[in-house]
Structure 1
């Protein structure tokens, strides 16, 4: 028996056949190891780094969360592009020697700056928690975007879908809980601080469904309960 597909069905079947991922790994927030800064000004929780076990001088890319207790100068990282996102706290002000200034006072506010810049940080009022992405220009390119359940189209019951193609995809849960369905795999539940890592993703559809938050009243104007920080990384040359 011959089964005929209309053009739309053919396109969907083609995308499904092309969608691949070599490996997926859940990195729970509870598994992160805290490392106190030498100057005592904060604590870093490393999420992932490449090469594995690389130090601060040898990484190609690094993703972490930092609890910042006091202001001061940032460490210098020549040849590295940095992205910082405010996760919690009243915020911070970053002043670059070039005169550029970043004031992060809203949740999920973002600052991008070169690692070789002289940066002085001032806390607005008390400690903060920040998400940090560091990319070595000679080795990788990458980006970080905000993925919110607010992106859901009308009638989709809060579900929001994105398609990823990258050597590494890191999906950090900044607000949750939420469920994430990757391709045809069973859904994965993420709570705040959890990260789902995907390696060698090709045309990979990922669907986010926000979970129920106690006390949250559902409705068309209710704030989204699901927010991911979506990082994509591409190596300049093949990694074996």
Structure 2
């Protein structure tokens, strides 16, 4: 079983497109210069606008904090803790009802032409990958025979058994074109922190 295990030391911080905050990027997949998938984490600390991403579908899950409301055009919905919500990236949305409290959220962005990813909590279960399976650990657990610490990320294109006292937030992506699937496999297999389950982990390297 081939896996890519990333830790917070591998992640990168980037400014928001609208300049009102920062995002921690966990994993990115592009094909021919176009975004296919981006996994990230951000903090919403006050009421304000979300960045607009034309051609992108979004999925957001509040990890910590009370959550907030997103409104814009014909959309109006609450982002509650540990409840994934999906919405189009090309709509100008505003976060409200933050109540002066920080909410940290996990974000999935995918190209609009792809089937929407499935984002869900999983614990003590066997998960099927689709074309890609990404597991974000919410606490110490085991996945694919590897020990994950809190906020580690595991990316694979194989089925994985998850065990332990803490769940993972799973992202399952399907519908990639064959050449994009090959690029995904190369990104997983070509990484310095890739290994087969049961082998020793080398020193972490920055995510390219």
What does residue 9 of structure 2 align with?
30
Greater C-alpha Rg = 1
The count of aligned residue pairs is 179
| Offset at residue 38 of structure 1 (A) | 5.9
Distance 2:20 2:61 in 1: 18
| C-alpha displacement of 1:40 | 4.9
Aligned to 2:206: none
Residue among 134, 155, 162 paired with 2:109: 134
- Flag the 1:97–1:38 CA change in 2: closer, same or farther, 3 A: closer
The answer for unaligned runs of 5 or more in structure 2 is 183-208
User: Does residue 146 of the first structure (1) align with residue 125 of the second (2)?
Assistant: no
TM-score when normalising by structure 1: 0.67
* Residue 236 (1) aligns with residue 177 (2): yes
Partner of 2:190: none
In the alignment, does 2:161 pair up with 1:207?
A: yes
Decide whether the 8 Å contact of 1:47 with 1:64 is kept in 2. yes
Distance change in 2, residues 1:42/1:69 (3 Å): farther
Alignment TM-score, normalising by the size of structure 2: 0.76
**1:30 alignment partner, SS class:** helix
Which of 167, 190, 197 lines up with 2:148 in the alignment? 190
Q: Which residue of 2 aligns with 1:17?
A: none
Alignment of 1:38-187 (within 5 A): 40-51=19-30, 58-98=34-74, 100-105=75-80, 107-122=81-96, 123-138=98-113, 140-149=114-123, 160-173=124-137, 175-181=138-144, 187=145
